Amino acid sequence: MLLPHQPLQEAAVPSQRISAREQAGPWHSEAVCRRDEAGLFFAPSKEPTAARLSREEAAKRVCARCPVMVECREHALLQPEPYGVWGGLTAAERRVVLARRRRRDADLQRAARVAAAG
């Protein structure tokens, strides 16, 4: 989710992975959330748990119909964005994804060292 007053810091994308959509313009210009209430994607202070869960599910429904959901998610993971629903994931869900990626990368590096030594 991109707030109107928030500058976007572009994430580095390898040139071979640039899609036709990205060549046409920045991904966030096509984001469905640009037309929705920003409050849907970010928690107000002291929000009750039931209200937070309901709001997050509503935000995820918006994300599910967004043509740039994957780009948004990767942006939030690369930054990393500490708050809000981005690319259909909450901040807690993004922390889980990042932890899994770190474990996977560590496992791959370990396997490469073993293969090189063996």
Binding site for [4Fe-4S] cluster: what residues are annotated? 33, 63, 66, 72
Element holding 70 (H helix, E strand): helix 69-78
Cβ–Cβ under 8 Å, residues 63 and 107: no
Q: Record the tokens describing residue 116, joined without a space.
A: 């090189």
Cα 99 versus chain centre, distance: 14
What is the spatial distance between Cα 86 and Cα 74, in angstroms, rounded to a whole number? 9
